[in-house]
Chains A and B, each alone.
Chain A
Amino acid sequence: DAGITQSPRHKVTETGTPVTLRCHQTENHRYMYWYRQDPGHGLRLIHYSYGVKDTDKGEVSDGYSVSRSKTEDFLLTLESATSSQTSVYFCAISDKGAIGELFFGEGSRLTVL
């Protein structure tokens, strides 16, 4: 299994609070992705990174920010959580980007009350 760890795995928070999810990899892969998974929507890309300090928006980036200060860590921040951000968040990594396979973490389940 690819060395990819998400934390926390489960979090319950209240509307308006900040939340940070962490993705940590030990594979030295260049590309890292944050997806959210909701019933009926499959996986939707939030943000991705193609190198340290290099990030770009995905399909559903509003309300989210990311940072990647070192190769192994990719942080997803919800500045002020809303109930619509209740979801399961998946981090994925790849050494070839979208032209190759992605390796996924086990997911972080976030509930915003």
Chain B
Amino acid sequence: SQQGEEDPQALSIQEGENATMNCSYKTSINNLQWYRQNSGRGLVHLILIRSNEREKHSGRLRVTLDTSKKSSSLLITASRAADTASYFCATVSGSARQLTFGSGTQLTVLP
């Protein structure tokens, strides 16, 4: 079963706009990670946020975590055509050794 579920499933924006993707999960987590996948490629790690953190930044990326609502958001500011990709959240819970992925958000940035 999937722990994380991304919303929306698909998002289309103009270059320069901000893109926000959300992830909801079901059980308490140790950390939450975001990954990007370009078409036909493997996933690339973007950012990890721990359960005791509320916000984290990396370049144009901003991730927030609300453990009371069991949700996270990924904000990409000033988007570029090269940001076109699928974005996945992934969580690990308890003593689990495995990362569970959501089904992803397909982001299209139009030039």
Contacts and interface: CB of A to CB of B under 8 A. Distances in A.
A44 B103 CA distance: 9
A90 B41 CA distance: 10
A98 B3 CA distance: 14
Chain B at the A interface: mostly helix, strand, loop or mixed? loop
Contacts, number: 59
Interface residues of B, number: 24
27 contacts: A33-B98, A33-B99, A35-B101, A41-B2, A42-B88, A42-B101, A42-B104, A43-B43, A45-B98, A45-B99, A48-B98, A50-B97, A90-B43, A92-B43, A97-B97, A98-B30, A98-B96, A99-B30, A99-B31, A99-B92, A100-B48, A101-B45, A101-B48, A102-B33, A105-B42, A107-B40, A107-B41
Interface of A: 31, 33, 35, 40-45, 48, 50, 56, 58-59, 90, 92, 97-107
